[in-house]
């Protein structure tokens, strides 16, 4: 199969953003007087947007005491201060993007992170590479694993979904790939384990970013 486009997840795939997210959420929890969570636990809290992150971290019996809109606003304000210092590009990702950019393969990003943060973080940390689209979650839009946004990006790239790789680190990403009829590649340097990726439809797993080139060349 020939692959002419790659859609990347952002957190846990291109960027190691876990510490910035955990620091921001734990700071908010401390402000609210609630227990915090260890860094490792956040690997299973992230990936489905801010609202879901709050539902998983704020004690369930306390959620009705707060406006979700206000909690999102407070979290976003804190995250503004943590992500610039606590987010890095994964080792090997620059070399992978350089190699892909030297071909005619089109690149894009699809994240469940808010659209504003996804765009700003990609611009700040991945400025050297051309992405046909960098799409995060906007209010009222379906989040991954709904395939709508992935298919929208396929329309932007002009590449048939069957000729598109969807690369991510979670079961949600692999479900998105399957539902969009794209080739799901699961990465093992991110936040989740191989078992989750395979159970949710990963067609192939890779341990290092440059291994993607072997798939693209098939």
- List the beta strands (DSSP E) in the chain: 5-8, 15-16, 88-89, 106-114, 133-137, 164-168, 183-187, 204-206
Kindly compute the dihedral angle of the four CA atoms of residues 57, 166, 179, 197, in this order, to the nearest 10 degrees.
-50
- Domain span holding position 204: 5-16+88-216
Q: Span 122-143, mean pLDDT?
A: 96
Cβ(133)–Cβ(111) below 8 Å: no
- Tell me which DSSP letter residue 46 carries: -
Number of domains the chain is built from:
2
For the domain that residue 45 is a member of, what is the CATH number?
A: 1.10.150
pLDDT in tens, 89-111: 999 999 999 999 999 899 999 99
Q: Determine if the peptide bond prior to 145 is cis (ω within 30°).
A: yes
Instruction: Assess whether 30 and 103 both reside in one domain.
Output: no
Confidence (pLDDT) at 218: 54
What is the share, in percent, of the chain residues with pLDDT greater than 70? 100
Instruction: Assess whether 36 and 103 both reside in one domain.
Output: no
Give the pLDDT band of residue 133 (cuts 50, 70, 90).
very high
Instruction: Assess whether 103 and 161 both reside in one domain.
Output: yes
Instruction: Assess whether 53 and 98 both reside in one domain.
Output: no
- To the nearest 10 degrees (0 to 180), the angle between helices 18-32 and 50-57 is 50
The yes-or-no verdict on residue 64 having pLDDT over 90 is: no
Q: Span 181-203, mean pLDDT?
A: 98
The yes-or-no verdict on residue 18 having pLDDT over 60 is: yes
For the domain that residue 103 is a member of, what is the CATH number?
A: 3.40.50.1000
Give dist(CA 122, CA 134) in Å, integer: 8
Instruction: Assess whether 115 and 95 both reside in one domain.
Output: yes
Instruction: Assess whether 23 and 106 both reside in one domain.
Output: no
Instruction: Assess whether 101 and 185 both reside in one domain.
Output: yes
Give dist(CA 204, CA 186) in Å, integer: 6
Out of 86, 110, 134, a domain closes at: 86
């Amino acid at each position: 199969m020939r692959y002419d486009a790659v859609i990347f997840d952002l957190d846990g795939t291109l960027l190691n953003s876990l510490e910035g997210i955990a620091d921001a959420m734990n700071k908010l929890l401390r402000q609210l007087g609630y227990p915090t969570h260890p860094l490792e636990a956040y690997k299973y809290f992230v990936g489905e947007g801010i609202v879901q992150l709050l539902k998983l971290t704020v004690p369930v019996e306390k959620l009705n005491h707060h406006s979700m809109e206000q909690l999102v606003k407070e979290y976003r304000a804190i995250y503004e201060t943590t992500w610039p210092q606590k987010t890095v590009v994964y080792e090997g990702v620059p070399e992978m993007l350089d190699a892909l950019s030297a071909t005619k393969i089109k690149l894009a990003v699809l994240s469940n992170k808010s659209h504003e943060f996804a765009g700003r973080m990609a611009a700040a940390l991945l400025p050297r590479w051309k992405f046909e689209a960098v799409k995060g979650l906007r209010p009222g839009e379906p989040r991954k694993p709904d395939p709508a946004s992935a298919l929208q990006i396929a329309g932007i790239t002009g590449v048939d979904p069957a000729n598109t790789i969807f690369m991510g680190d979670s079961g949600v990403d692999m479900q998105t790939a399957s539902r969009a009829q794209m080739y799901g590649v699961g990465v093992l340097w991110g936040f989740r384990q191989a078992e989750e990726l395979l159970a949710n439809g990963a067609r192939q797993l890779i341990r290092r970013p440059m291994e993607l080139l072997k798939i693209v060349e098939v």
